[in-house]
Amino acid sequence: MLKRINYDDRQHLVYARGRALPPDVVAAWMAEFARHSPSRRPLTVLDLGSGTGRFSPALAGTFGGPVYGVEPSARMRQVATTSAAHPSVSYLQGAAEKIPLPDDRCDLILLYLVIHHIQDLPAAAPEIARVLAPGGRLLIRNTFADRMPDPLWHRWFPRARMIEEELFPTVAEVVDAFARVGLRPAALTSIRHRLAAGPADYAARLRLRANSVFEQMTEREIAEGFAAMDADLAAHPGTDPVEEDCDLLILELDGAHGRVVHAGEQDGGAPPHQLSGQN
Ligand SMILES: C[S@@+](CC[C@H](N)C(=O)[O-])C[C@H]1O[C@@H](n2cnc3c(N)ncnc32)[C@H](O)[C@@H]1O
């Protein structure tokens, strides 16, 4: 049984440093988000689970409209307010299960590494559909249990993969949760992005433990993992950038939002197994 992670406890101290992305990687994400969004501008964007505001200012720059960064952790929000301020971005207290916005307010909603933290997805799905305008898009960047990548750090922390398989939902679980409220899958893409300039930079960031999976491990196994990492990198220093494969699932709201689709009823859209992984 996995622990529930409260970002007010520790992650807020390290997240912005440990998970910072270079500007060109953020720009590549913005281009990918724009490719899957309505083409008109401006768009109103909800960055749901906005954390330290890693993407919120760039979303404002890309889509030209107001951006709402909704985040339950007061301390993550505090970091965002001080280090990721932007005139078009408002950071608001809230959560996926209770979004402080009126119906139909958003053209685009981003859930970036958030869906596995949502405790009550059946309550969150209609709330997300409620604030999304018809024709709006939901972009879900996450790892999915049925499409596990093979990140470098798993080599040193053998239990990480097991934890992640339990932590992350499958694509079908997510698609089903949103199909019930009229959101249908539009695409599933896979993107390779640069995490760190080289192994030394990667190791330094990993040491910050700005990944909630570490909070599911014992201090002993963490210490053993870092010792294995140090030995491995001393034997094979390497200079190549460290990259990772990232999935992005795109869902679209058509017609009347919030409609409950009952089991067995067709609501259009491609079933998950027909989604293109290369799109
Ligand atoms: C891994 S961080 C991702 C933050 C940000 N999206 C990013 O990529 O930098 C997960 C965030 O989800 C937030 N979170 C946890 N439960 C949530 C919920 N029910 N609704 C919205 N956000 C939630 C956490 O507080 C945390 O800030």
Cα separation of 155 and 167, whole Å?
18
Cα of 75 from ligand 1 centre, angstroms:
12
Three-class SS of residue 153? helix
Contacts of 104 (CB under 8 A, 6+ apart): 131, 132, 133, 134, 257
Cα separation of 124 and 275, whole Å?
23
Cα separation of 261 and 166, whole Å?
27
> What pLDDT is recorded for position 272?
40
Cα separation of 79 and 268, whole Å?
41
Protein residues whose CB sits closer than 6 Å to any atom of ligand 1: 7, 19, 48-51, 54, 71-73, 76, 95-97, 112-114, 117-119
DSSP structure string for 87-147: TTEEEEE-BTTB-SS-TT-EEEEEEES-GGG-S-HHHHHHHHHHHEEEEEEEEEEE--GGG
Cα of 53 from ligand 1 centre, angstroms:
10
Phi, psi of 152 (to 5 degrees): -55, -40
Q: What 3 state SS string does 29-84 have? A: HHHHHHHCCCCCCCEEEEEECCCCCCCHHHHHHHHEEEEEEEECCHHHHHHHHHHC
pLDDT digits (tens, 9 = 90+) for 183-199: 999 999 999 999 999 99
Mean pLDDT across the stretch 92-119?
98
Phi, psi of 67 (to 5 degrees): -120, 130
Are 122 and 177 a contacting pair, CB within 8 Å?
yes
Domain positions in the chain are 11-149+168-197+243-260
Share of the chain above pLDDT 90, in %: 90
Q: Model confidence at 1, in pLDDT bands (50, 70, 90)? A: confident
Are 153 and 160 a contacting pair, CB within 8 Å?
yes
222, amino acid identity: I
Mean pLDDT across the stretch 107-126?
98
> What pLDDT is recorded for position 262?
34
**Domain 11-149+168-197+243-260 = CATH 2.40.37.10:** no
Cα of 96 from ligand 1 centre, angstroms:
9
Nearest residue (by CA) to ligand 1, atom 15, is: 117
The model's pTM: 0.92
Task: Give me the residues paired with residue 248 across strands.
Answer: 141, 189
Cα of 46 from ligand 1 centre, angstroms:
13
Nearest-atom index, ligand 1, CA of 97: 19
Contacts of 151 (CB under 8 A, 6+ apart): 244
Contacts of 235 (CB under 8 A, 6+ apart): none
Cα separation of 109 and 135, whole Å?
12
CA atoms within 13 A on the CB side of 41: 8
pLDDT digits (tens, 9 = 90+) for 17-49: 999 999 999 999 999 999 999 999 999 999 999
> What pLDDT is recorded for position 77?
98
